[in-house]
Copies of this chain bind each other. A is one copy, B any other.
Amino acid sequence: MSQTYVHGYHARENERLQDQAGTLVDLLHSDTAYPAGSTVLEVGCGVGAQTVTLAGRSPDARFTSVDISAHSLAEAKRRADRAGLTNVEFQLANIFELPFTAESFDHVFVCFVLEHLSRPLEALAILKNQLKVGGTITVIEGDHGSAYFHPDSAAARAAIDCLVEMQRRAGGNALIGRELYPLMIGSGFDAVRVSPRVVYVDSSRPDLVDGFTRKTFTAMVEGVRESAVVAGLIEPQNFDEGIHDLYRTTEMDGVFCYTFFKAVGEKKPG
């Protein structure tokens, strides 16, 4: 969900959204910090939404942030400059053809990337190869199947399923969050620990109601309306009913839940 996620938070100046983004940033990143002098490879940095947080929280580590899109990298570089960061180098690269020698990084960081790849196990094996022995990898992904809400709605679930199916047809996996443990183990990482990070939203948390339920998650589902209808996955009126019902969860008596997963693994000798 990287693109919509990114745009949901960072293309706006609204102070409330900044506060809410702060809440989510803490939820996902507060337990990630890299020691002084260590080198960190960030793969799939996109427009730098995570980069600014990561590098800002570990000012004495050196980051190499790569992405497959020159356009995104240019925006990421602007953001890093605006944030006054001097510990990040940006580089154009494909995760499956990284231009670095083996075992050249102390740590690897990947956020909202594996969900888009048809070969996530292979990608993780490549990233393991980039790590020095004793290094760590941190992976963060969402899971659209973790979304549930009050009032419940079959139409809303059907609209979300369209997003999952469209991402599947594009070669990705919108339910990858729950799979991080077997993926990490399957690619040979040790000491793997996965922790869920729940975004729980009720009307006592208006920043999340607006910033997460409305402008991130529901907006993201809305984004597949045309393609899902053209693909014959759903009737337009059913999809629209689902979107209506997702917005319904943002009323005073509504509740919305979504879970991100964060996995950390180590590269052991041998």
Contact = CB atoms under 8 A, between A and B. Distances in A.
A200 B193 CA distance: 11
A150 B182 contact: yes
Contacts of A253: 181-182, 185-186
A182 B250 CA distance: 12
Contacts of A196: 198, 200, 257
Nearest to A185: B253
A252 B185 CA distance: 10
Nearest to A193: B204
A178 interface: yes
A249 to B, nearest CB: 10
B181 A255 contact: yes
A251 B218 CA distance: 34
B175 A255 contact: no
Contact of A181 (B152, B198, B204): B204
Interface residues of A, number: 30
A152 B148 contact: no
Interface in A142-190: 143, 145-146, 148-150, 152, 175, 178-179, 181-182, 185-186
A145 B256 CA distance: 13
A241 to B, nearest CB: 19
A179 B146 contact: no
A203 interface: yes
Contacts of A145: 148, 152
B175 A202 contact: no
B259 A178 contact: no
13 contacts: A143-B148, A146-B257, A148-B178, A150-B178, A152-B178, A182-B254, A185-B252, A186-B253, A192-B204, A193-B204, A194-B255, A195-B200, A198-B259
Given A182-B202, A194-B204, 6 more contacts: A145-B148, A150-B179, A179-B255, A182-B252, A192-B204, A257-B259
